[in-house]
Amino acid sequence: MFRKRVIGALGAMAVLFSTTAFAQGTAADAKAMLEKTVAAVKTDKAKTLDQINKGENGFLVGDLYPFCFNLSDGNIVAIGNPNVKQLLGTDSRMLKDPTGKVYGPELYSAAKDGQVNEVSYNSPKPGADKAWVPKVSFVTAVAGLGCGVGYYK
């Protein structure tokens, strides 16, 4: 009886882990996370950027995560994707994908106060062995930052 319970519990944990840790977010999920990010940045910018970088407080859910860059110099100050932490401190306007598409200027230009704009490009997917896949990000401006959240197609 104990063995059945343990096996059942392990099976339930595996299903839970597979559906939450690597779940694919939708466009609606990405927009909701962007709204959450904007509200959090308005409340406590420094704390929110730290939480994004650590993937805490719901800022890394499945393959959804926010990213933020300074509007003053383009430097990336927060990114929830553990596969691209090396981008912290780099100029977002220089970003390009392996196909050679330079998408950084589009992300930067999309960051407008009171607007949410879409940018399409390829990006490494969390939990996917650093494979680059098509992505659409919703981007806006808040408190001197350009922030976005994207979903993978």
Domain boundaries, given as residue ranges, for the chain = 25-152
Q: How far apart are alpha carbons 26 and 114 in whole angstroms?
A: 22
- Please give the pLDDT value at position 19: 35
At 26-52, the pLDDT tens digits run 999 999 999 999 999 999 999 999 999
Please compute the mean of the pLDDT values over residues 133-141 and round it to a whole number.
95
Backbone dihedral region for residue 29 (phi beyond 0: left; psi -120 to 50: alpha; all else: beta): alpha
At 89-132, the pLDDT tens digits run 999 999 998 888 899 999 999 999 999 999 999 888 776 666 78
At 54-100, the pLDDT tens digits run 999 999 999 999 999 999 999 999 999 888 899 999 999 999 988 88
Indicate the fold that domain 25-152 takes in CATH: Beta-Lactamase (3.30.450)
